[in-house]
């Protein structure tokens, strides 16, 4: 293996944290969703790396599942964005605070 597993894990962790930071920092719904996608892609990276390290295809299979799942989620998310946009003319996530306490 050319790249040591630790590097892959380090890189994907960094990517994951960046994605998480995006989710935490942004209020725009689209940006939050993008952050989530980044996190999930970091997962895919780590899985592929680990799969290579252990010489097992399990991880790669999981990545395929993950991609399918992600696309389903994206579809739902986008539908949701459109739906929300119709409900209230904003995509600021914090604007939706009708329920609290």
Partner 1 sequence: MTWSDLYALLPVLVLIFGSTVLLMAGAWRAAFSTMVAYGILFSLAAAATAVFHTPGSHDVAGFFLIGGYSRFFSILWPIVAALTLTISFRYGADRGFSGGEYAALILFACAGMVLLSSASSLVSLFLGLETFTLALYILIAFHKGSPLGAEAGLKYLVMGGVATGLLAFGIALIFAATGTFHISEVSILDASNGQFHAVTLFGWGMLLAGIGFKISLVPFHLWTPDVYQGAPSPVAGLLATGSKGAVFAALVFLLGNLQLSRTPLANLLWVLSAASMLIGTLCALRQNNLKRMLAYSSVVHMGYLLLALLAGGTSGHTAILFYLVAYAFVNLGAFAVVTVFSSCATEPQSYEDFKGAGYRQPLAAAALLVFVLSLAGIPPTAGFMGKFAIFYAAIETGYTGLALIGILSSLVSLYYYLRPVIIMYMSGDSNTPSFSMMASEKSVLILCLIATLILGVYPGPLFDVITGILP
Partner 2 sequence: MTDKTLFLIPLLPLLCGALNVLFGMRLPRQLSQAIAVGGVASSTVLTLVLWPLSAGAGTHVTLFTWLDSGTLHVPVEILFDPLSASMTLMVTGVSTLIHLYAIGYMHRDADYARFFALLNLFVFAMLTIVLADNLLLLFLGWEGVGFCSYALIGFWYREEKNASAGRKAFLVTRVGDVFLGIALLWLFKLFGTLSISGINAGASQLAPHILTLLVVLLLLGACGKSAQLPLMTWLPDAMAGPTPVSALIHAATMVTAGVYLLCRLFPLVSLSSTGLALISAVGAVTAFYAATCALAQREIKKVLAYSTMSQVGYMFLGVGTGAVAGSMFHLFTHAFFKALLFMGAGCIIHLCGEENDIFKMGGLRKKSPLVFWLFLAGALCLAGAPLSSGFFSKDGLLAAAYAHGTPFYLTIYILGAFTALLTAIYTFRLLYLVFGGTSRFTGDLHGLPKLMTWPLIPLALIALFSGVLNLPEIFGGHQWLDHLLHAAGSGESHPLSHMQEWTLAGIATALFAIGWAVAHWRYSRFTPAQEKKAVLFFLHGWQADRLVHATLITPFAFLSRLFWQGADLAVIDGILESLGQGCQSAGERLRTLTTGRVSSYLASLAWGLLLFMLFFLLQVVQG
* Alpha-carbon span 82 to 59, nearest angstrom: 34
Contacts of 46 (CB under 8 A, 6+ apart): 8, 9, 12, 13, 16
Contacts of 38 (CB under 8 A, 6+ apart): 15, 16, 18, 19, 22
31 near partner 1 (CB under 8 A): no
* Alpha-carbon span 85 to 48, nearest angstrom: 37
22 near partner 1 (CB under 8 A): no
CB-CB neighbours of 11 under 10 Å? 15
**By rule CB under 8 A, what string of x and - marks binding of each residue 58-77 to partner 1?**
xx-xx--xx--x--xx--xx
86 near partner 2 (CB under 8 A): no
98 near partner 1 (CB under 8 A): yes
Site residues for partner 2 per CB under 8 A: 20, 23-24, 27, 32, 93-94, 96-101
Site residues for partner 1 per CB under 8 A: 5, 9, 12, 16, 19-20, 23, 29, 32-33, 36, 39-40, 42-43, 46-47, 49-51, 53-54, 56, 58-59, 61-62, 65-66, 69, 72-73, 76-77, 80, 83-84, 87-88, 93, 96-101
């Amino acid at each position: 293996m050319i790249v040591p597993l630790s590097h892959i894990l380090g890189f994907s962790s960094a990517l994951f944290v960046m994605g998480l930071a995006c989710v935490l920092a942004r209020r725009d719904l689209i940006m939050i969703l993008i952050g989530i996608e980044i996190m999930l892609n970091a997962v895919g990276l780590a899985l592929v790396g680990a799969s290579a390290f252990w010489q097992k295809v399990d991880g790669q299979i999981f990545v395929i599942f993950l991609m399918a799942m992600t696309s389903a989620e994206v579809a739902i998310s986008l539908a949701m964005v459109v739906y929300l946009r119709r409900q209230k003319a904003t995509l600021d996530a914090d604007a939706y605070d009708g329920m609290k306490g």
